[in-house]
Amino acid sequence: MKVLLVSQHFELRGGSDVMVHHTRSMLEKAGHEVHLFAAQIEEQADDGIHPSGAHFEKPGAGGLHKFFFNRDARRRLDALLDRERFDVAHLHIHYGTLTSSIIEPLRRRRIPTVQHLHEYRSFCTISIARRDGETCTSCTVGNYLPGIVHRCNRGSLIRSAITCAEMYVADSLGAKSWPQRFLAVSNFQRDMLVRQGMPADRMFTLHNPVDDIFFTVPDTSVPLGVLFFGRLEDYKGVFDVVSLARRLPEVPFNLAGDGSQFERLRKIADEESLPNLKILGSQNRDQILRLLEESMLAIVPSRWHETFGLTAVEAMASGTPVLVTDMGGLPEVIADGHTGKKVVVGDIAGMERFIRDLQNDPSNALTMGARGRERARTNFSQIAYLPNLLGHYAGAIEAMNAVRGR
């Protein structure tokens, strides 16, 4: 099969970019031909194939229009599709860089298209379905005006109006009407998107796979330590980890990652003299693997509806039990009481009890970790993922063949 992968960035900047490159690697290892069409980084020499992306942060004089419609992306995709024939197009995040200008070349050639949904962008102008610390579903598919009313984009009326307008433009270009299949990364995300107006008959769930490297972390008996790794943001529950560190001074807590709350967290750890709380900052993959090996528990205390919860899967694959909140797709990842523990969001006392339980029975951490590794291997490995992905490609191709036959 010849597959066109489409993504917002050619380089790795976030979780969706990692997923794109994992998908490419999996498909190529299975013998499929893959072409990645993505926006170039600014420093990269123009290769004549990959377009430059729009720059919302610094659009430059007259450059804002590119955020709505990237003519260069459309022109270069047209040229690519004139040279190459693809069996299926697999779209990932493309708004704001390539934009929905890429839809028309695919539709004109009737190329079967699968759209992967990594966020809540289908109805939410800021993609996270959250406002003022609470879940927000004020916007629906086709009605994004509440995003302007509430100034959802950084409190700015102008930014909010621009993102709202971009979503209306994307809809008009076929971002939601053209793809034959939409892939949500959890049942929770799929159901929320359907409630907000996405077409139920074209919405499917495909859980993200974990990088095989996480299965290589050895099973070891380690002193009690709790690891958070991910974005250091309030909605990720990082301050609940601080609360736990205050209540459990004998337990080491490591926070690995970067984000807007990094300096505030370091200040708290210093000013409150919390020697058991270490704010490590950004860590590469090898460092994360070592931290997982040295931890008895990974914690994902999110206060927002995670679309999936890849860090929880990565921890399970490494043989580390996971403590999660009941938010978004997280409950789909773990087996409560079997591979870790699920608590109500913000239940600091419940989190503390579970950590103390592991303190009193460290062998249970090893047992849960072994079960988690097996669960990750069975449900979230690349071997389990690829046949399902190919099945969705086949479904999109079948749907397009039915249209062609009319």
How confident is the model over 321-356, as pLDDT tens digits?
999 999 999 999 999 999 999 999 999 999 999 999
- Region of poorest pLDDT, from 3-17, 87-101, 293-307: 3-17
CB 24 within 8 Å of CB 5: yes
**pLDDT score, position 204:** 98
**Confidence check: pLDDT of 56 > 70:** no
Assign 221 a pLDDT band (cuts: 50, 70, 90).
low
**pLDDT score, position 224:** 77
**Confidence check: pLDDT of 189 > 80:** yes
Q: Around Cβ 318, how many Cβ atoms within 10 Å?
A: 27
Mean pLDDT of 19-28: 93
Plot region of 319 (φ>0 → left; ψ -120 to 50 → alpha; else → beta)? left
| Mean predicted lDDT score pLDDT of the chain | 92
Assign 8 a pLDDT band (cuts: 50, 70, 90).
confident
**pLDDT score, position 55:** 61
**pLDDT score, position 16:** 78
Tell me the domains of the chain and their CATH numbers.
2-209+382-404 (3.40.50.2000), 212-379 (3.40.50.2000)
Structure confidence by residue, pLDDT tens digits, 117-157: 999 999 999 999 999 989 999 999 999 999 999 999 999 99
Mean pLDDT of 94-107: 93
**pLDDT score, position 403:** 82
**pLDDT score, position 43:** 53
Report the share of the chain in percent with pLDDT over 70. Answer: 92
- Region of poorest pLDDT, from 44-53, 103-112, 226-235, 374-383: 44-53
Token representation of residue 286: 């090898």
**In angstroms, rounded to a whole number, what is the distance separating the alpha carbons of residues 369 and 377?**
12
266-296: buried (b, 16+ CB within 10 Å) or exposed (e) per residue?
Answer: bebbeeeebebbbbbeebeeeebbebbbbbb
